[in-house]
Amino acid sequence: MKVELQNLTKIFPGRDKKNPKDTVTVNDFTFTIPDGQLVGLLGPSGCGKSTTLYMISGLQQPSGGKILFGEDDVTNLPAESRGVGLVFQNYALYPHMTVKQNILFPLQNLKGPDKMTKEAMLERAYEAARLVQIDELMERKPSELSGGQQQRVAIARALVKMPRVLLLDEPLSNLDARLRLQTREEIRRIQRETKITTVFVTHDQEEAMSISDMIVVMKLGVVQQVGKPQEVYDNPVNLFVAKFLGTPPINVFEGSVTNGKLYIGDSAVLDVPGVDNREVFVGIRPEGFVLDKNGPLTCNISGIEVMGRDVSIVSTNEKSINPVVRSIINADSNVDATATEVSYSLKPHKVFIFDKETEERIYFEV
């Protein structure tokens, strides 16, 4: 099921005379989620990603714009008639029901021609439970399950009624780091198997990047960039997106462009043909540094972290916006541990320059 959002807007009106300002939580969001894809809504807290999700679910009414499931306009349909499955951040499993009763609950609500026999319901419930691998736990209460298991039950409950769209609100935020890795693979697998169009919300860019077919980066209610995770990472449209994606985060320097050359401090670090002279922010991905004794960018080393596969050099530069400059170098390259200075040359496609005023990307030919 394709999901289309057209100029979706949500405004929370000012509460009282003391706070008369309306809050625009989601501003003119237009986006089409292709059928059967896993889409991650990504942004810092307060960016309107959860509100968008709840508007798709029908639990919140948009202030403007339209939501279409396939060709159906569902904007004014109540949540119960939309056929969405929603997994809440803290799962919202009914604590007094067993896992089985929880999963059966949505099916027992069906009325009229959709009404199912007890056997058919049980069969469907076990099918969903097998899909998320909890069919052994059907008689337990939610309080007797681990966080990861509760998460699976919540997904099974959302899937059991065969929703047109599956929505996940911060699905991994309540899990520990190890389980998070496991569960995100699991969500990916379940989504692939069921081929249900899935939207999930997260503030963790790694999580979004690793499993989504597409990501939507949002900031203060406004969509910044939409695209495949790698594309967005490789081609951020503005400083915010560049900073938000990637671990370790991108290194940002103050710089300037003079006569087609990019300067950080006094050193010309890169040729940037076709860019007018101006003040800029320079974003350099940690993997964009190349060790080069004669390299133009020199930083003072403050530490070296060896992580097996590669080496991370932590250094400082007075033009850096971040407190430290972090580069990731292949472990094979020889790093002099006693050196106090390190010089880099840069990989042009890992360097982005942004206008100092608008923070929009300035493109140059590589």
Partner 1 sequence: MANESVATKKYYWYEVSKKLDAFAKKIKFDQWKGWIYLSPAIVLLLIFTVWPIFNTVRMSLLEGYTTMTEINGATFQFGFGNFIRVIKYPGFITCLKNTVLLTVLTVPISTFLALLIAVCLNSIKLFSRALQTIFFLPYVTNSIAIGMVFAAMFNMIIGGNARPDSVGIVNNVIEFFFGEGSYINWMNAGSANPDGTASWANFTVMVVYIVWNALPFKILILLGGLQSVNKQYYDAAKVDGTSRARVFARITVPLLSPMIAYVVITGFIGGFKEYSSIVGVFGEGMGPVGNAYALDTMVGFIYRAIGKQEGTASAAALILFGIIFVVTMINLYVSNKKTHY
Residues 160-199 that bind partner 1 (CB under 8 A): 161
Among 19, 32, 61, 81, binds partner 1 (CB under 8 A): 81
Of 97 and 304, the one with the shorter C-beta distance to partner 1 is 97
Among 40, 43, 48, 106, binds partner 1 (CB under 8 A): 106
Q: Which of 304, 338, 322, 320 minimizes the C-alpha distance to 269?
A: 320
Of 114 and 276, the one with the shorter C-beta distance to partner 1 is 114
3-state helix vs strand vs coil in the chain, percent to 5 = 30, 35, 40
Structure tokens at 311: 């080496």
Among 6, 63, 105, 126, binds partner 1 (CB under 8 A): 105
Q: How far apart are the first and last CA of the chain?
A: 40
For 177, the 3-state DSSP assignment is: helix
Among 88, 206, 258, 260, binds partner 1 (CB under 8 A): 88
Asked whether position 365 contacts partner 1 by CB under 8 A, the answer is no
* Cα 41 to Cα 135: distance, rounded to the nearest angstrom: 30
Asked whether position 148 contacts partner 1 by CB under 8 A, the answer is no
Of 58 and 255, the one with the shorter C-beta distance to partner 1 is 58
* Cα 94 to Cα 356: distance, rounded to the nearest angstrom: 51
The secondary structure of 206-271 as a DSSP string is HHHHHH-SEEEEEETTEEEEEE-HHHHHHS-SBHHHHHHSSSSPPEEEEEEEETTEEEETTEEEEE
Among 40, 43, 85, 288, binds partner 1 (CB under 8 A): 85
Instruction: List the x/- string, 57-76, binding to partner 1 by CB under 8 A.
Output: xxx-----------------
**C-alpha distances in Å from residue 247, one per residue of 52, 55, 182, 209:** 26, 31, 19, 11
Of 81 and 333, the one with the shorter C-beta distance to partner 1 is 81
Report whether 183 contacts 211 (CB < 8 A): no
Instruction: List the x/- string, 24-63, binding to partner 1 by CB under 8 A.
Output: ---------------------------------xxx----
**Single-letter code of the amino acid located at 3:** V
Of 28 and 127, the one with the shorter C-beta distance to partner 1 is 127
| Residues composing the chain | 366
Segment contacting partner 1 by CB under 8 A, of 40-48, 87-95, 219-227, 250-258: 87-95
Query: Residue numbers of the site for partner 1 (CB under 8 A)?
Result: 57-59, 78-81, 84-86, 88, 90, 92, 94-97, 105-106, 108-111, 157, 161
